[in-house]
Amino acid sequence: MFKFFRRRAQPAVTPTGTRPPGIGGRVEMTSPADLKRATRFAAEFTVTGPFVEPDSDEHELWKAGKLVPLYITHLLDAGRHVGPGVDAACHAEEPAVDRWEAGSHYPSWEQTVALARLLDVPVRDLTHPDAGPRHHEFRPRLRLPGVAILSFEPTAVQASTQSAGDGAVVSCDGWGDATAPDHGDT
């Protein structure tokens, strides 16, 4: 009757920052260009240090839609952050963090800072300079294991950044099929 979405514990991963995140098991379904992009994003992932209060450059990265769902997923898994407590720590209602990982919702600035604080990384470490909002016809509603999601939906980024500061929840549930893989991001 009721559907609850909760981050479930993932298999143990290496400590934060010691190895780039994996790109999953569905790589055989991607184009060579998409596989190269996912591999590059994974290889260029770094943790530069512990959380520090963000500066205006980090705010601009967030506003430009440069957050990478794959990095969020990797750091949450590495720190074994699971369950509704993650959403609460990020000042969000469940299942918001799951939807950030799928790229269907974009966190507000305040939520992004709270997420970085929870993960003990600078906001900059959740971004990639080549990341940017991209629409994917078959984007899952929630994270699918083995799918490397590298971008957020453009309308989710736009809605969140335009309402910056008010903590608005941006809903993009009408997109795609929750069971279909996000081939464009792998």
- Which 8-state DSSP code applies to residue 67? B
Query: Which of residues 137 and 88 earns the better pLDDT score?
Result: 88
Label residue 34 by pLDDT band (50, 70, 90): confident
Beta bridge partners of 127: 67
Distance CA 89, CA 79 (A): 14
Cβ-based neighbour number of residue 51 at 10 Å? 16
Residue whose entry in the numeric block shows the structure tokens 């699918």: 144
Q: What pTM does this model have?
A: 0.74
Tokens of 168: 């608005």
Residues 130-158: tens digit of each pLDDT: 999 999 887 877 777 777 889 999 999 99
